[in-house]
Structure 1
Amino acid sequence: MKRIILTTESGADLPEELAKKYEIQVVPMHVIMGGKDYLDGSLPVQEIYSYYDRTQQIPSTTSTNTHEYHNFFTRINQDFADCTIVHIGYTSKASSSFHNAVLASEDFDNLYLIDALNVTGGLTAIVMYAAKLLEDEPSIEAEALVEKIKTSIPKARLAFIPGSLDFLKAGGRVSNFAYLGGTLLKLKPRIELVDGLLLSNKKYRGKMNKVSEKLMHDYFTEYNIDQEQLYLIYSVGLDEGIKERASAIAKDYGFKNIHWMQAGAVISTHSGPGGFGIAGIEV
């Protein structure tokens, strides 16, 4: 029986301890800042915010290219002889990364590709669902595992609130009218992944300490999330008191394993500092 190796992109923000525990291989995406190309994970997130403060410009992001994927899959085959690779990718509707993985896959006959239609904590939730399946059923065949992973994709729920509208405005993701309205009324958009696309479907009014609690209560009311795993996401700058309160709320709702995830450089170019999010999979 061939060993199954799970892979994903850095845009999953998969916590390092989970990647190590389950030997999940992560390929970096890219951040372009000041004319230089940085691999996601090699650049401290705070430098992105400092760059914006200096220039009023946000860095751009680019996908993992076909050559990088080819090298990535080749290395895995060298490190894990006679393995099967199951790659769970960043939503194809927000990046060309998955398409590039498809192109690279033509040279490999032991590779399965899954478009997770999700990012950050939502993508991590799907990857960890797969890791738990492998842990519970180590003899599962790759085809059966892939089919089970695919059933989890429409059940993955990610919702987050940017810490500031400045990054969304600078990146052209909100109009000046919406930006001014949101700033004056102190409105914060709730953003979710719907069919692989980032959409704002609700707005909250107030400071992040209150808004984050409201998001959590709404999230748990709207979605019947599996209580075995919950992922709470923060971007650098989120108050520690908010994190402590969020953990307490999650425990009050009966969640057994609560994992905090820091938004990496790719995600932080979209969410800005002080953001908060939540992700899990419905039962």
Structure 2
Amino acid sequence: MSKIILSTESGADLPKDLAEKHRVQVVPMHIIMNGEDHLDGVLPVTDIYDYHTHTKQIPSTTATNIHEYQQFFKKIKEDFPDCIIIHIGYTSKASSSFQNAVIAAEEFDNVILIDALNVTGGLAAIVMFAATLLDKNPTIEPEHLSKLIQEKVPKSRLAFVPGNLDFLRAGGRVSNAAYFGAALLKIKPRIDLLEGKLVSTKKYRGNMTAVTKKLMNDYLTQYNIDREQLYLIYSLGLDEEIKQQMDKMARDNGFKQITWIQAGAMISTHAGPGGFGIAGLEV
């Protein structure tokens, strides 16, 4: 029986302790800043915020390339001889990373690829679903585990609101007119992952305390999320009182386990500071 090794990208923002506990192998994506290439997961998020403060620009991000995937899969095979790798990838609708993994995997006969059609906590939720199944049944057939993961992909739900629109504006994702209008009216967009794409689905008005409450209520009304586990995502700068408030709301709604995920450099480059998101798996 071949050992199954799970892998994913740094864009999953999978907490380091969980990755180590479940032996999930993580390959870094990239942030380009001041003409230099930095690895996601290594570059401090505060460096990105400082860069924006001084330049009013945001860094660019790039996918894991084909050569990196080849080396990544090769290293896993060396560390775990005769293993089967199940790679759960960052959505192909927002990055070329998954397609690069597909090309790289052609050189190997032990790699199964799954497009999670999700990012950050939504991707982490699928990875942890797979890790939990594997922990419960270490002898599960790779094909069967892969099938169960594929069935869960469309049930991963991610929604978030940015702390402010400065980073979206700097990245060209909102116009100046929309930016100033939203700032004047204290409007924050809700962003959902729908069929692998980031889509603005709603607008909330008010301060971040009020907005996060509305997001949580709407999310739990809209989706029938499994109460066993909820993932709450934040970018540095989110007020601690808001985090406590969201944690309490989740527990009051019957969630047994709540895992907080900090957005890494890749996600923070686009979302900016002070953002909040929710991810979970529908039953």
Same fold? TM cut 0.5: yes
Q: What does residue 86 of structure 2 align with?
A: 86
Alpha-carbon deviation of 1:275?
Answer: 0.3
Q: What does residue 57 of structure 1 align with?
A: 57
Alpha-carbon deviation of 1:177?
Answer: 2.2
Q: What does residue 9 of structure 2 align with?
A: 9
* CA RMSD across the alignment: 0.6
Listed one character per residue, the Cα deviations across residues 149-193 of structure 1 (whole Å, up to 9, x for unaligned) are 011111000000001101001101112222121111100000000
- State how far apart, in whole Å, the 1-side matches of 2:229 and 2:130 are: 12
- State how far apart, in whole Å, the 2-side matches of 1:8 and 1:228 are: 23
Q: What does residue 34 of structure 2 align with?
A: 34
Alpha-carbon deviation of 1:228?
Answer: 1.1
Gaps of 5+ in 1: none
Listed one character per residue, the Cα deviations across residues 257-277 of structure 1 (whole Å, up to 9, x for unaligned) are 100000000000110000000
Percentage of matched positions with identical amino acids: 67
Q: What does residue 281 of structure 1 align with?
A: 281
Q: Does 1:198 align with 2:201?
A: no
- State how far apart, in whole Å, the 2-side matches of 1:133 and 1:217 are: 29
Off by >3 Å, runs of 4+ in structure 1: none
Q: Does 1:272 align with 2:275?
A: no
Q: What does residue 127 of structure 1 align with?
A: 127
Listed one character per residue, the Cα deviations across residues 196-252 of structure 1 (whole Å, up to 9, x for unaligned) are 100000010011111111101111111010111110000000011110111100000
Paired letter, 2:86: V
Alpha-carbon deviation of 1:25?
Answer: 0.4
Q: What does residue 263 of structure 2 align with?
A: 263
Q: What does residue 69 of structure 1 align with?
A: 69
Q: What does residue 177 of structure 2 align with?
A: 177
- State how far apart, in whole Å, the 1-side matches of 2:14 and 2:229 are: 14
Q: What does residue 164 of structure 1 align with?
A: 164
- State how far apart, in whole Å, the 2-side matches of 1:27 and 1:103 are: 16
- State how far apart, in whole Å, the 1-side matches of 2:174 and 2:118 are: 21
- State how far apart, in whole Å, the 1-side matches of 2:233 and 2:100 are: 27
Matches within 5 A, 1:163-242: 163-242=163-242
- State how far apart, in whole Å, the 2-side matches of 1:230 and 1:18 are: 15
Listed one character per residue, the Cα deviations across residues 55-102 of structure 1 (whole Å, up to 9, x for unaligned) are 011000000000000000000001111100000000001000001001
Paired letter, 2:37: D
Q: What does residue 48 of structure 2 align with?
A: 48
Listed one character per residue, the Cα deviations across residues 19-56 of structure 1 (whole Å, up to 9, x for unaligned) are 01100000000000111100001111011000000001
Q: Which moved more, 1:134-143 or 1:19-28?
A: 134-143
Q: Which secondary structure state, in structure 2, belongs to the residue aligned with residue 99 of structure 1? A: helix
**Paired residue total:** 283
Q: What does residue 153 of structure 2 align with?
A: 153
- State how far apart, in whole Å, the 1-side matches of 2:94 and 2:222 are: 25
Q: What does residue 142 of structure 1 align with?
A: 142
Q: Which secondary structure state, in structure 2, belongs to the residue aligned with residue 259 of structure 1? A: strand
Q: Does 1:251 align with 2:251?
A: yes
- State how far apart, in whole Å, the 2-side matches of 1:237 and 1:72 are: 33
Q: What does residue 114 of structure 2 align with?
A: 114
Paired letter, 1:72: F
Q: Which secondary structure state, in structure 1, belongs to the residue aligned with residue 251 of structure 2? A: helix
